[in-house]
Structure 1
Amino acid sequence: MDFALILFLLSVVTGILWFYDVFKARKQRVKGTPDPWWVEYGASFFPVILPIFMLRSFWVEPFRIPSGSMIPTLLVGDFILVNKYAYGVRIPVINKKVIEVGNPQRGDVFVFRYPHDTTQDYIKRVVGVPGDKIEYIDKKLSINGQAVPTSVAGDYVQGLDSLTRLSETIDGTQHYVLNDPAKPQEPGSIPHAFSENCQRSSKGLICVVPPGNYFAMGDNRDNSADSRVWGFVPEENIVGKAFFVWFHVDSILPPKGIRFDRIGGFK
């Protein structure tokens, strides 16, 4: 079950118990009588659960990075904060936007619900916004006919592989991406909505982003299942903008343990 739904239900149930106790049951109890169990273990949680629910639903939510698709920007084991207000105020649980604040911009790192299974949260970088023409040919990215500025920034060792690290700038946002020379140009695809908006070849693909959708790519370009594979990100699936690494526990690659050098903002 969705954690947001669990928090919502707990807030409703404990809120009902709290209001019933404050405005009716408490007045009827004999003075000095201990609170009944449903107050102690129910209504007493309401002042704690409600602020957590409100904070998580409308302002900021923590996430943990489970995969390497955003290396080198984000590593497995990073704990990040996501600004849920940046892209508008949404009704919790149904995720419907009710107040317009802003929209994802090219270069943003954002969290969204995977279009093919909305119970899963994904994190990628926004590469294309509605109406953009995205070309990824021979592992070179172009947006609306303009090649994205890139430069070689050395090698990056990932496990037993040595990948090429590139500095990339999208609309003024500079970040690093990885290319694996051993991987094919075109990563393959699965059926998805608006698949007719994409043309594919052995060299890559060309896509026009449909209205109300976004094109997302992982910074670990050849080790990321993203819009090149499963299609566009609908606006209603967006959760928020990632902006800060607040903790890191590395349990996979050495050196294992807490890494304080990972704490801070990211590009």
Structure 2
Amino acid sequence: MANFYSVLLTVVTIFAGLIWLVDARFLKPKRQQRIGDEERRLQQTLDEDARQRLAPQGNVAEFAQSVFPILFVILILRSFFYEPFRIPSASMMPTLLEGDFILVEKFSYSLRDPIWRHELLELAEPERGDIAVFKYPPEPSLDFIKRVVGLPGDRIIYRNKTLYIEPSCETEVQNECPPLQVIERNMTRSDAFYFNGATPLQRFEEKLGATSHATLVDPTVGGRERYYFQQQGTARDEWLVPEGAYFVMGDNRDNSEDSRYWGFVPEENLVGRAEFIWMSFEMDRPASSWLPTWIPSGIRWQRLGGVE
């Protein structure tokens, strides 16, 4: 479904362009010939209204000519520059909330064609801490959004709700490689409180690479190691990121379906990097409300801006 709109927009744009091309190459010269013959017969130049009455452009061709430039610009912008994306769940709280609408920078990592997603140009690689949108590996028709935690070659451990990273090392001298690092987290207080049902979540400040961000932990949730993706040759809560792949996690650590449960994100699945919240709708409403749950109850203006 995630790629449906890209395919539909591409097909409609091509169809409108072909109609406009056929009209311009074959039908327009015939209309001009008819107008020229009539002007020579009358020995005078016809005004625009008279020309339209004598040789009108078809409604379909006129509509295609009007919409094609607009569709073409939208297609180029959406395919290669920026694409809107709606946050559908709470897995990235508190960084991103359900109801946030973000812009995804499509050219952050590579340029790909909008239908088959073949790489046209490689531009950069994800950095640790990036918020990336990608095709969900178990079901590529879905778009997911998570934070990049592990890069190719990294060793990742998530144990007792603490994240450990041993960065990739290509040197042959073992003592020059960086050791296993504990990603420190500091509990913070905030004016905003987050809950899982009636349980208040603990908020921590964490730093991945150059990115500082907040995470949430549910103190009532125990270990879920038995559900973790098991990589051959590693412990249940340990993973080695293969080449050409990335390990991602949600900031809402106990409410996120991420690499811990289904594995790694191949490089070809990457869509782009989340850059900006352009709209944020408040979706909470009392159970007694007669309005449908999908209708926003307000706008969170304070959330508009860049994301980290």
TM-score, normalised to structure 1, is 0.92
- Report if aligned partners of 1:78, 1:245 keep a CA contact under 8 Å in 2: yes
Superposed CA RMSD: 1.9
Establish whether residue 164 from structure 1 lines up as the match of residue 196 from structure 2. Answer: no
> What letter corresponds to residue 205 of structure 2 in structure 1?
S
Corresponding residue number in structure 2 for 1:55: 77
Residue 157 of structure 1 deviates from its aligned partner by: 2.7
Distance 1:198 1:187, change over 3 A: same
Residue 190 of structure 1 deviates from its aligned partner by: 7.2
- Report if aligned partners of 1:59, 1:83 keep a CA contact under 8 Å in 2: yes
- Report if aligned partners of 2:274, 2:307 keep a CA contact under 8 Å in 1: no
Establish whether residue 248 from structure 1 lines up as the match of residue 286 from structure 2. Answer: no
> What letter corresponds to residue 11 of structure 1 in structure 2?
T
Q: 2:26 aligned to 24, 28, 52, which one?
A: 24
Please say which of residues 45-54 and 34-43 is displaced more in the overlay: 34-43
C-alpha deviations, 1:214-251, integer Å up to 9, x for none?
10000000000100011111111110000110101112
- Report if aligned partners of 1:188, 1:229 keep a CA contact under 8 Å in 2: no
> What letter corresponds to residue 150 of structure 1 in structure 2?
R
Residue 213 of structure 1 deviates from its aligned partner by: 0.7
State the number of aligned residues: 261
Q: Percent identity?
A: 43
Give the 5 Å matches for 1:69-80. 69-80=91-102
TM-score, normalised to structure 2, is 0.80
Stretches of structure 2 that go unaligned for 5 or more consecutive residues are: 35-50, 167-179, 287-295
Corresponding residue number in structure 1 for 2:235: 199
Please say which of residues 164-173 and 18-27 is displaced more in the overlay: 18-27
Corresponding residue number in structure 2 for 1:4: 6
Establish whether residue 131 from structure 1 lines up as the match of residue 153 from structure 2. Answer: yes
Q: From the CA coordinates, give the structure whose radius of gyration is larger.
A: 2
Establish whether residue 153 from structure 1 lines up as the match of residue 188 from structure 2. Answer: yes
2:227 and 2:161 map into 1 onto residues whose CA distance is 16
Give the 5 Å matches for 1:101-250. 101-144=123-166, 145-154=180-189, 156-158=193-195, 159-186=197-224, 188-189=226-227, 195-196=231-232, 198-200=234-236, 205-250=237-282
Establish whether residue 263 from structure 1 lines up as the match of residue 304 from structure 2. Answer: yes
Looking at secondary structure, tell me which structure has more helix per residue: 2
Looking at secondary structure, tell me which structure has more strand per residue: 1
Residue 256 of structure 1 deviates from its aligned partner by: 3.1
Stretches of structure 1 that go unaligned for 5 or more consecutive residues are: none
2:235 and 2:120 map into 1 onto residues whose CA distance is 35
C-alpha deviations, 1:113-154, integer Å up to 9, x for none?
111111111000000011110010110001101111211113
- Report if aligned partners of 1:110, 1:240 keep a CA contact under 8 Å in 2: yes
1:124 and 1:197 map into 2 onto residues whose CA distance is 26
Distance 1:198 1:24, change over 3 A: farther
Corresponding residue number in structure 2 for 1:46: 68
Please say which of residues 95-104 and 54-63 is displaced more in the overlay: 95-104
1:236 and 1:197 map into 2 onto residues whose CA distance is 25
Distance 1:111 1:253, change over 3 A: farther
